[in-house]
Chain A
Amino acid sequence: MGQLAQQLLNGVVMGGIYALSALGLTMVYGMMNIVNVAHGELYMLGALFTYYLTSTLGLPYLPSVLAALVLVALIGGAMERSSLRRIRGQTMVVTTLVTLGWSLILQNVSLILTGGIPRYITSPFPETSLVLGGLQIAPSRLFAALAAGAVIVLTHLFLQKTVLGNAMRASFQDKDAASLVGINVGLIYMLTFALGAALAALSGGLLGTISYVDPSMGAKGLMKSFVVVTIGGMGSFIGAIFGGLILGIVEALAAAYISSAYKDFIGFIMVVVILLFLPSGLFGKRERYA
């Protein structure tokens, strides 16, 4: 029983982090209708920049994460401005391939510049686990999960309640109408993609203290985010939260009770099974037949 509770807690904590790592992906899809294959690389860059800022420049952890976030947001903005903008309205295959091109560039340039060595971001938190009512949790994980929850809520409030957030939603719902009330739609496209990149970077910076950092981590991160987003429903915020939690919990339980070799396998099978019964995930808008 105690073990089950411990696994559930592990699952929830990991799930929160998964949810955050998928948030940027689901937002960019939901608003811009782009499946961003480079999402994993942006997440990797967030972790990599955080690593260099803390270890090479010796900056404290949190300012490093924020600086990494800004840098990656700039890269995201540049991606949008230079290429994605030109193919707006093209089919999904086309947009996906352009982000695939970016993913090749970002991953391999990182590999060339940094080498493939796994690195660890020094966590500012104590190593010893906290014990709460018989359950153990590492402080860095707890922090990452809480930060993930806070960021998800803040992003949601930003989009729903602020003028800029509303302008973003408006621009993607009806571009002409947005222009006609004075919204600079081109700028909004860039900001939205940059925001998605920033969210990816943030999750990378937070996860970097839990797991290792290397240029190939993006591919794995991307697959996890795909699973989360698909289970929850593409483009849905609540979906990302539930998708993350479900994946986190199921993986924790599978690792404990079945075999850790099949931990990842279960996520993909879940995608297939859930979509067969709920063709647009748990919370997604129904994908219309083209």
Chain B
Amino acid sequence: MKPRAMNYVKPTRRRTGTILSLAALGLAALAPNVLDSYTRHVLMLAMINIILGLGLNFTLGYVGQPNFGQAALFGFGAYTSAILAMKMHVSFLVSIVAAGLVTLMAGYVLGYISLQLRGAYFCMVTIALGQALLLMASNLLRLTGGPMGLAGIPGPKLAGLLSSTYSLWLVALGLLALMLLVTRLLERSVMGRAWVAIRESETLARSTGVDTFHYALLAYVAGALFAGLGGSLYAHYVGFVDPSIFAFSWSSMSVVAVVIGGRGTIWGPVIGGLLVTLLPEYLRVAALWRLPMFGLVLILIITFMPDGLVALPRLLAQVRSRGKTGVALPGGGGD
């Protein structure tokens, strides 16, 4: 992947950008009033997937390590909220904040363990930790309800007026906006640059004095916070959690989202999260065949656009400029 240039943005353009963003946010906040319940449901799930992807993007995209264990943190957040809300009857606000903080701490521990390793071994440990949590959730009957899971998690009622789903929509939207902002800030901070340095060459980064473990751990922990909040949202929205939330398929779907969207970019997880949620839904017309078709689409996108869909405009521009100069550059192929 190419390092992206830190574009200087003209102040006026930046101001219109802010205004546009705020307008979009306002529209999104009002959207549930005009959307049918199915579309609203799908978009809500998409927001949760995007939140999950934004969190994963720190280790996977910026630091460049194959993290296939994001579901461990997502599940941690979901179970924390489920247990707090059902067994201790805490309010939604307490539940989600606690889920975020508890997952952040869990992330510190899990990250500390798994980041001792890199590459394929890191990948394996992240998978193993997810599986270990899955089995624990299935067996700690008293706390987690075992394989049956916990059902009947209450949703919030914001200001006592809005419905639970609308409240969750607003919370999800707010968190999402905040997370995008945080990602942008981190990306441009010393930390973001350290992450990219690790991705390009960890040895080199270390030799120039970057404490690579420390920064990688911070990426993991930031991801844990996002995942914990997302998990809590999910638990309160769906009202039900069971051990399958820790499954490899959740983790891998999130990796898919980040990669087909575009690793190490802000909009990558957004595009990817929308796609992995909407695509299987729209493929539903193909009923039975939607999952194989999804697999096929996944292979095609990754094979032909390993940098993700955010790179599409650049690819198109390349194709167009080649078309304009007439003959393609001679030679080329070979190795």
Touch A–B, Cβ below 8 Å = yes
Using CB atoms and an 8 Å cutoff, list the residues of chain A in contact with chain B: 29, 35, 37, 83, 86-87, 90-94, 96-98, 100-105, 108-109, 112, 219, 223, 226-227, 229-230, 234, 261-262, 264-265, 268-269, 271-272, 275-276, 279-281, 284, 287-290
For the complex, is B282 an interface residue (Cβ under 8 Å from A)? no
Question: Is B50 in the interface zone, CB < 8 Å from A?
Answer: no
Q: Is A275's CB under 8 angstroms from B121's CB?
A: yes
**Given A87-B306, A290-B118, are A272 and B129 also a contact pair (CB < 8 Å)?**
yes
Which residues of B are found within 8 Å of A104, using beta-carbon distances?
291-292, 294-295, 298
- Contact in complex: A93, B202 (CB < 8 Å): no
Do B64 and A100 have beta carbons less than 8 Å apart? no
The A interface is mostly helix, strand or loop, or mixed, namely helix
Q: How far is the CA of A288 from the CA of B206 in the complex (A)?
A: 13
Q: Given A223-B248, A262-B135, A265-B139, A97 and B255 touching (CB < 8 A)?
A: yes
Distance of A47 Cα from B296 Cα, bound (Å) = 24
> Once the chains are docked, how many angstroms separate the CA of A104 from the CA of B306?
19
- Alpha-carbon distance between A20 and B96 when the two chains are bound, in angstroms: 46
Chain A residues within an 8 Å CB radius of B131 = 223, 264, 268
Q: How many residues of B contact A (CB 8 A)?
A: 50
Asked if A101 and B302 make an inter-chain contact with CB atoms under 8 angstroms apart, the answer reads yes
- Chain A residues near B121: list those with CB within 8 A: 230, 234, 275, 279-281, 284, 287
**Interchain CB contact under 8 A, B291 and A287:** no
Cβ contacts under 8 Å, A287 to chain B: 117-121
> Quick check: B124 and A103 within 8 Å, CB to CB?
no
Residues of A within 8 A of B199 (CB): 290
A residues in contact with B289, CB < 8 Å: 108, 112
> Within 8 Å CB of B291, what residues of A?
104, 108
List residues 120-163 of chain B with CB under 8 A from any CB of chain A. 120-121, 123-125, 127-129, 131-132, 135-136, 138-139
Please name all residues of chain A whose beta carbon is closer than 8 Å to the beta carbon of B248 when the two chains form the complex. 219, 223
Q: Does B303 contact A (CB under 8 A)?
A: yes
Partner of B127, one of A92, A226, A290: A226
Partner of A94, one of B124, B127, B259: B259
Q: Name 18 extra pairs, CB < 8 A, besides A230-B125, A272-B132, A290-B118.
A: A83-B303, A93-B263, A96-B66, A97-B256, A100-B298, A101-B296, A223-B131, A226-B124, A227-B128, A230-B121, A230-B128, A234-B124, A261-B139, A264-B131, A271-B124, A275-B121, A289-B206, A290-B65
Is B129 in contact with A268, judged by CB distance below 8 angstroms?
Answer: yes
B54 to chain A minimum Cβ distance, whole angstroms, is 17
- The answer to whether A290 touches B302, judged by C-beta atoms less than 8 angstroms apart, is no
Closest to A233 in B: B121
Give the chain B neighbours of A105 by CB distance below 8 A: 292, 295-296, 299
B117 and A35 contact, CB distance less than 8 A: no
Nearest A residue to B133 via CB reads A268
Quick one: which of B65, B125, B303 has the most chain A CB within 10 A?
A: B303
Across the interface, which residues of A come within 8 angstroms of B302, CB to CB? 87, 94, 97-98, 101
